[in-house]
Amino acid sequence: MTTYPLPTYADVEAAAARIDGFAHRTPVHTSRTLNELVGGEVFVKCENFQRMGAFKFRGAFNALSKFSPEQRTAGVVAFSSGNHAQGIALSAKILGMPATIVMPHDAPAAKVAATKGYGANVVVYDRYCEDREAIGKRLADEQGLTLIPPYDHPDVLAGQGTAAKELFEEVGALDHLFVPLGGGGLLSGTALSTRALAPQCVLYGVEPEAGNDGQQSLRSGAIVHIDTPKTIADGAQTQHLGHYTFGIIKRDVDDVLTASDAELVNAMKFFAARMKMIVEPTGCLGLAAVLGAKGSLQGKRVGVIVSGGNIDLDRFCALVAQDGAALRVSG
Ligand SMILES: *Cc1c(COP(=O)(O)O)cnc(C)c1O
């Protein structure tokens, strides 16, 4: 059996030093209305204000910073239609190395344009009859490129852990922390920082109700694979956790919760109306769980990581115009 030596908090600290001066130290926002709703004190770490609009820049930049001169010359390859692609493309541009991004033929034009805008070479594949992983690996073999996966990589997850490190450094220990969960890069990195800086904090991953593979995995003790879930949380449409990410999550995370699409829309509305922020559906997972926790956070200090804000304005407007989920805010 392959073993996966797990990264530690020292790797998060090293990542923090590497991204210093390149990634933003994102703000922590609060809302009196939110505190009243929850009956506690809520601290929102705003990775929607990170470079390229999501935390993914942290892990991508950390991973690329560690390339050898030979790896830098040949360049990086990644497969993603979303924020990981943009994180890799921007990091490669800053570090002056070529980047190849494998994207599905039906990826949103805006995302393809943004990735090309960072100077990346975009290779298109047909998501219904070609395997993006195989294409990525073939490009890596043929052209000597280094493949950086979106979550299951020690340098990627250590980079993602720097967001929670900053949060604890800014606001001190927390009683509860809620983190969006896809493949687990953000959650596992956050877990390393949490166990080092606020060991008593109850740490939750939050994933879409339609795809609760992380919840099933944590509760059963083995990685559970599912079909691509149908949800508006496109950043968390993963089919399974990774070996590194699950190794840490199993050890350090208290529980995995879920949020429905209607609850995500409700949280999007709250962020827009009350905190003047555009947050993408996946970025709303943490707040959705907090709003769903009812009275159980009374008197607690609660952290929420908002993971990203990348959403087309048309889609944002269409989602917040839905009246299926009433905005649970009074006054
Ligand atoms: C990638 C992504 C996630 C999920 O992160 P994982 O590391 O795959 O768990 C959550 N939110 C946003 C905005 C993302 O881009």
Given the DSSP bridges, would you call strands 121-125 and 99-104 parallel, antiparallel or unpaired?
parallel
* Residue 249 backbone class (left: φ over 0; alpha: ψ -120 to 50; beta: rest): alpha
Please state the atom number of ligand 1 nearest to the C-alpha of residue 280. Answer: 13
- Phi and psi, residue 44, nearest 5°: -110, 115
pLDDT at residue 331, rounded to an integer: 32
Directed axis angle between helix 243-252 and helix 213-220, to 10°? 60
DSSP state of 218: H
Pocket flag, ligand 1, residue 151 (CB < 6 Å) = yes
Instruction: Give the separation between CA 40 and CA 159, rounded to whole angstroms.
Output: 29
pLDDT at residue 107, rounded to an integer: 78
The pTM (predicted TM-score) of the whole model is 0.95
Mutate to test the pocket of ligand 1, among 155, 179, 181, 239 (most ligand atoms within 8 A of CB): 181
pLDDT at residue 2, rounded to an integer: 60
What is the distance in A from the centroid of ligand 1 to the CA of 313? 20
pLDDT tens digits for range 186-229: 999 999 999 999 999 999 999 999 999 999 999 999 999 999 89
pLDDT tens digits for range 249-262: 999 999 999 999 99
| Among the listed residues 229, 161, 224, the one whose alpha carbon sits nearest the alpha carbon of residue 195 | 161
pLDDT at residue 105, rounded to an integer: 84
Pocket flag, ligand 1, residue 114 (CB < 6 Å) = no
| Among the listed residues 149, 172, 171, the one whose alpha carbon sits nearest the alpha carbon of residue 160 | 149
Pocket flag, ligand 1, residue 259 (CB < 6 Å) = no
- Count of CB atoms situated within 10 Å of the CB of 86: 27
Q: Name residue 213's amino acid.
A: D
Instruction: Give the separation between CA 44 and CA 231, rounded to whole angstroms.
Output: 23
User: What residue's CA is closest to ligand 1, atom 3?
Assistant: 235
User: Which segments in the chain show pLDDT lower than 70?
Assistant: 1-3, 323-331
What is the distance in A from the centroid of ligand 1 to the CA of 314? 21
User: What residue's CA is closest to ligand 1, atom 7?
Assistant: 185
CA atoms within 13 A of residue 32's CA, in its CB half-sphere:
1
DSSP code per residue over 44-94: EEEGGGSGGGBTHHHHHHHHHHT--HHHHHH-EEEE-SSHHHHHHHHHHHH
User: What residue's CA is closest to ligand 1, atom 1?
Assistant: 235
Pocket flag, ligand 1, residue 186 (CB < 6 Å) = yes
Mutate to test the pocket of ligand 1, among 80, 83, 217, 278 (most ligand atoms within 8 A of CB): 83
Pocket flag, ligand 1, residue 307 (CB < 6 Å) = yes
Mutate to test the pocket of ligand 1, among 49, 50, 52, 56 (most ligand atoms within 8 A of CB): 56
| Among the listed residues 178, 245, 172, 251, the one whose alpha carbon sits nearest the alpha carbon of residue 214 | 245
- Helix ranges restricted to H, the chain: 9-19, 32-38, 56-65, 69-74, 83-95, 109-117, 132-143, 154-160, 162-171, 185-197, 213-220, 243-252, 261-275, 285-292, 313-321
pLDDT at residue 328, rounded to an integer: 47
DSSP state of 235: G
